[in-house]
Amino acid sequence: VCVKEIYWHEFQVTKNDRQALHGHKSRILWFTGLSGSGKSTIANALEARLHKEGFSTFLLDGDNTRFGLNNDLGFSEEDRKENIRRIGEVCRLMSHAGLIVLASFISPYKEDRSFVRSLAEEDEFIEVYVDCPVEVCEARDPKGLYQKAKKGEIPAFTGISAPYEPPDAPEIIIRSDLEGIDESVKKIVCYLKEKSHL
Ligand code: ADX
């Protein structure tokens, strides 16, 4: 039996102090959607815009974090859960650092996304559903993965042989098959300004 003798420390510099230094609130913009839906492209363009306007940001992306922090994880339901749990904790740390975090992960399970939401403060977590029909993602197939999945070369591929649970009440919905990137970025910036997040 492992008895954990650990205690939480409070440090002198608080989350509020860090937010004040950055001149804005911490936020977690969580992009969820199918592979090829455009999550990372939109998050990338949004980060560039926010950065240019003087906001302190950081972009986390499924493909990249799976090379490092999560390189021990695959795509089983259990591994995806652990992937999102760790990233949720990273988002929480980054929010304590006072950053606007943009997280781009398929995150196919509702339960895992609500776990991340539960780590955040009230109004801090903003779920952006990048909604795009699977046929469109398949036609785009930027990494050729849908083609491989259809041939059975990639098991448990989201949208083909593994489930995707769309959010019930996301803060923002982007129809990436109907809206361009600039339009999507504007929509998110407008939301953030309207809600006084920026
Ligand atoms: S998640 O489901 O655990 O949230 P994550 O966003 O980290 O996934 O990684 C998704 C990326 O991994 C995809 O964009 C794709 O490039 C790649 N990938 C490799 N295998 C799979 C698979 N079986 N299902 C979905 N994406 C996969």
What average pLDDT does the segment 7-36 reach? 96
- Tell me: the pLDDT tens digits for 3-18? 789 998 999 999 999 9
CA 121 to chain centre: 16
Confidence of residue 175 (pLDDT cuts 50, 70, 90): very high
What average pLDDT does the segment 135-143 reach? 97
* Per-residue buried b or exposed e for 103-129, using 16+ beta carbons within 10 Å of the residue's own CB: bbbbbbbeebbebbeebbeeebbbbbb
- Pocket mutation for ligand 1, best pick of 44, 106, 151 (most atoms within 8 Å of C-beta): 106
Mean pLDDT of the residues in the chain: 97
- Tell me: the pLDDT tens digits for 99-131? 999 999 999 999 999 999 999 999 999 999 999
| Residue 28 in this model has a pLDDT that exceeds 70 | yes
Q: How many CB atoms lie within 10 A of CB 32?
A: 28
Q: 178 alpha carbon to ligand 1 midpoint, in Å? A: 23
Which pLDDT does position 110 carry in this prediction?
Answer: 98
Active-site residue numbers? Answer: 107
Q: Which atom of ligand 1 is nearest to the CA of 70?
A: 7
Does residue 143 line the site of ligand 1, with CB under 6 A? yes
The protein residue whose alpha carbon is closest to atom 14 in ligand 1 is 35
Question: Residue 152 to residues 78, 149, 157: CA-CA distances in angstroms?
Answer: 21, 5, 9
| Residue 195 in this model has a pLDDT that exceeds 70 | yes
Confidence of residue 1 (pLDDT cuts 50, 70, 90): low
Amino acid identity of residue 39, one-letter, is K
